[in-house]
Structure 1
Amino acid sequence: MPDPDQRLFFLLQRAAHRLRTTADRRCLDAAGITTAQLAALFAIRDGSGLTQRRLADTLGLRESAVTALVRRLTEAGLIARRAHPSEHRAVVLELTGAGDDALRAARPAVDRFNAELRALLGDDGFTRTAAALHRLAHWEP
């Protein structure tokens, strides 16, 4: 078996896929939303006056992907768009009551998922892994 360090990129991709598909299934079952939608809802809730461009930056996505995501969330009644107070071409994204309900419904699934990961990795491993992934997510080679 090759040294795991030599397959780090492959292992990160495989782990990300497994985590995403499991978390998506659980969030869909609990709240009818995917993890991408959940991340957007959290960002909109936490980012007062958030525009689509800022949402794209926050999520690390292209603006075209965020445009489609915002359209789906708007059509589902989870967010609303209103005119930006000072930028005539921009819109501000706001969480609706249904969006807040979806976040509340997803919370137990998210908490259970994190508890399972903490049990798998141990408290120290969970904290160290989160810190390492944060550094990787913000790495600028």
Structure 2
Amino acid sequence: MPPEPDQRLFFLLQRAAHALRLAADRRCLAAAGVTTAQLGALFAVQDQPGLTQQKLARTLGLRQSAVTALVGRLTDAGLVAKSAHPQEHRAVVLELTDAGSAALRDAGPEINRFNAEIRNLLGDDGFAQAAAALHKLAHWHSESGHRSG
């Protein structure tokens, strides 16, 4: 009789996320010189023209201090440029540089390969079910009105 699957879902999610992040970071660093966290920020800047650091923090679900450090690394690497916001005195607008666009382009094939490997591991139905379940979990508190307290 096969062993019962581990019922510690949160632990399994943490472990899977950690393993996937390490593997994806290694591959994205090799392909494009950026981590998955940096790629997430680059995609957000690309997809939302006029994005401020505050809006980037909300988009990524990170604290403002973490985004300040992330944006600092991206600007130091020449992947993102900051400019004064036209209406908000203290805000800055983030823009993708040519190097940032190139990093996204270079990472694309590796991201596609990584997703294809996961799809192959889980099967098409399993991949779709996992994506739907993780989406629900990622938005559970914000959509359901649940609050921890």
What residue identity is the alignment partner of 1:66? V
Which runs of no fewer than 5 residues in structure 2 stay unpaired? none
Query: How far apart are 1:8 and its partner, in Å?
Result: 0.3
Does residue 1:23 correspond to 2:41, yes or no? Answer: no
TM-score of the pair, normalised by structure 1: 0.96
What residue identity is the alignment partner of 2:99? A
Cα deviations across residues 8-42 of structure 1 (Å, max 9, x unaligned)?
00000000000000000000000000000000000
Task: Please give the alpha-carbon distance, in whole angstroms, between the structure 1 residues aligned to 2:135 and 2:22.
Answer: 20
Query: How far apart are 1:3 and its partner, in Å?
Result: 4.7
Cα deviations across residues 54-95 of structure 1 (Å, max 9, x unaligned)?
100110100000000000000100000011111010001000
Q: Show the 5 A alignment for 1:1-141.
A: 3-4=5-6, 6-140=7-141, 141=146
SS at match of 1:48: coil
Q: Looking at CA atoms only, which structure, 1 or 2, has the larger radius of gyration?
A: 2
The runs of 4+ residues in structure 1 deviating greater than 3 Å are: none
Cα deviations across residues 78-132 of structure 1 (Å, max 9, x unaligned)?
0000111110100010000000000000011100000000001111111111111
What residue identity is the alignment partner of 1:8? L
What residue identity is the alignment partner of 1:73? L
TM-score of the pair, normalised by structure 2: 0.91
Task: Please give the alpha-carbon distance, in whole angstroms, between the structure 2 residues aligned to 1:37 and 1:117.
Answer: 21
Query: How far apart are 1:53 and its partner, in Å?
Result: 0.6
Which runs of no fewer than 5 residues in structure 1 stay unpaired? none
Task: Please give the alpha-carbon distance, in whole angstroms, between the structure 2 residues aligned to 1:87 and 1:125.
Answer: 45
Task: Please give the alpha-carbon distance, in whole angstroms, between the structure 1 residues aligned to 2:129 and 2:86.
Answer: 42
SS at match of 1:33: coil
**Percentage identity across paired residues of the two chains:** 71
